[in-house]
């Protein structure tokens, strides 16, 4: 176990991910490819090593995922467009300063076409809907500067109906509260300037109850801790200005204990196999906790704060005060 974040090892872990194209696992995860590139690039940006992956190659790959029939991005070339991969494509292109490659009017119509009469969004034309896709739509429209085209009242109305007695949010109306949904609902409300919908004290109490004795956070009561909840829980607490409601030192130690000291990367919990999903959300959690030497992450968009600031979209969220690099 290491008490430090092993940045060079994690950078080399992320660089090697694209090199294993002969592995079965690489092909079995093709439906997540654009998301995975977004996770890897964001983790590199937060660790200050954006240049570790080739910019041109990345932009070309993103553009090869364009689904011209639908007007959005699929997760992989020849895949149907989906809101999850469309948001990832937009995030990657913004971080690589290449948003001019996108046909913005077509993407905006694709996104808006997925809003349902209830206000929620479907992920694609096949119709599965929930608040994750609602968040993707709101975040993407905001990043494209086209939020004015959204029916905000209908969108907020759906989120409001997903709010439960414990202050948390479910993925659809009537569903159990989950901390992943706390992120998507609170972040969407933050973008829409409607944080008044949140019962802040009740929700933040519920979120702080997610911390277990070993310092890790779970997604809902009676479940196991998992490094990814470091981001889903902390982002919501950070937007609501209550990061202090959890024990930051214990959480940092838990995240650091899930690093693989040989291969790099972070796992869901100590001793498990690492992956890029847990690597980004571990590093993102550490950034919000003010871990020394990391770049500030915007908790609403899960992108570097400076990028969001430059687009004029950054609100007043603060990471915990950054500690000096030698602490």
Binding site for ligand GRG (CB under 6 A): 84, 132, 135-136, 180-181, 183-184, 219-220, 223, 226, 228, 232, 302
Closer residue to ligand GRG in complex, CB, 181/287: 181
Produce one character per residue of 234-243: b if its CB has 16 or more CB atoms within 10 Å, e if not.
bbbbbbbebb
For residues 24, 27, 29 and 35, what is the CA-based torsion angle, rounded to 10 degrees? 140
Q: Is 129 exposed, middle or buried (0-12, 13-18, 19+ CB in 10 A)?
A: buried
CB of 228 to ligand GRG, least distance (A): 5
Closer residue to ligand GRG in complex, CB, 74/219: 219
CB of 68 to ligand GRG, least distance (A): 24
Q: Give 3's contacts (C-beta < 8 A, 6+ positions apart).
A: 253, 256
Closer residue to ligand GRG in complex, CB, 183/254: 183
Residue the block writes with tokens 């999850």:
84
Q: Return d(Cα 297, Cα 152) in angstroms, integer.
A: 26
Q: Return d(Cα 24, Cα 263) in angstroms, integer.
A: 19
CB of 325 to ligand GRG, least distance (A): 26
Closer residue to ligand GRG in complex, CB, 289/302: 302
CB of 223 to ligand GRG, least distance (A): 4
Closer residue to ligand GRG in complex, CB, 154/223: 223
Q: Return d(Cα 11, Cα 13) in angstroms, integer.
A: 5
CB of 252 to ligand GRG, least distance (A): 20
Closer residue to ligand GRG in complex, CB, 180/270: 180
Residue with the shortest CB distance to ligand GRG: 180
CB of 315 to ligand GRG, least distance (A): 16
Q: Give 55's contacts (C-beta < 8 A, 6+ positions apart).
A: 96
Query: What number of other Cβ atoms are within 10 A of residue 44's Cβ?
Result: 24
């Amino acid at each position: 176990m290491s008490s430090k974040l092993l940045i060079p090892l994690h950078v080399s872990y992320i660089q090697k991910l694209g090199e294993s194209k002969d592995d079965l696992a690489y092909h079995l995860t093709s439906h997540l490819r654009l998301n995975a590139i977004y996770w890897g690039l964001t983790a590199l940006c937060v660790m200050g090593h954006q240049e570790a992956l080739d910019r041109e190659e990345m932009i070309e790959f993103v553009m090869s995922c364009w689904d011209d029939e639908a007007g959005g991005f699929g997760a992989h070339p020849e895949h149907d467009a989906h809101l999850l991969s469309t948001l990832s494509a937009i995030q990657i292109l913004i971080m690589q300063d290449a948003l001019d490659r996108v046909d913005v009017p077509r993407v905006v119509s694709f996104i808006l076409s997925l809003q349902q009469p209830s206000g929620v969004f479907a992920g694609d034309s096949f119709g599965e809907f929930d608040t994750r896709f609602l968040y993707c739509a709101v975040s993407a429209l905001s990043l494209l500067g086209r939020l004015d085209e959204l029916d905000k009242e209908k969108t907020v109305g759906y989120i409001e109906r997903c709010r439960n007695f414990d202050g948390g949010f479910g993925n659809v109306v009537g569903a159990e509260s989950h901390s992943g949904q706390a992120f998507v609902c609170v972040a969407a409300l933050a973008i829409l300037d409607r944080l008044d919908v949140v019962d802040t004290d009740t929700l933040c109490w519920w979120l702080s109850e997610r911390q277990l004795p070993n310092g890790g956070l779970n997604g809902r009561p009676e479940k196991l801790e998992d490094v990814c909840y470091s981001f889903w829980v902390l982002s919501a607490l950070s937007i609501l200005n209550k990061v202090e409601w959890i024990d930051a030192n214990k959480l940092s130690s838990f995240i650091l204990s899930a690093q693989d000291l040989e291969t790099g990367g972070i796992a869901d919990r100590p001793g498990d196999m690492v992956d890029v999903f847990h690597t980004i959300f571990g590093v993102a959690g550490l950034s919000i906790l003010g871990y020394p030497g990391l770049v500030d992450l915007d908790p609403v968009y899960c992108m570097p704060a400076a990028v969001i600031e430059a687009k004029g979209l950054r609100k007043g969220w603060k990471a915990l005060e950054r500690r000096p690099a030698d602490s």
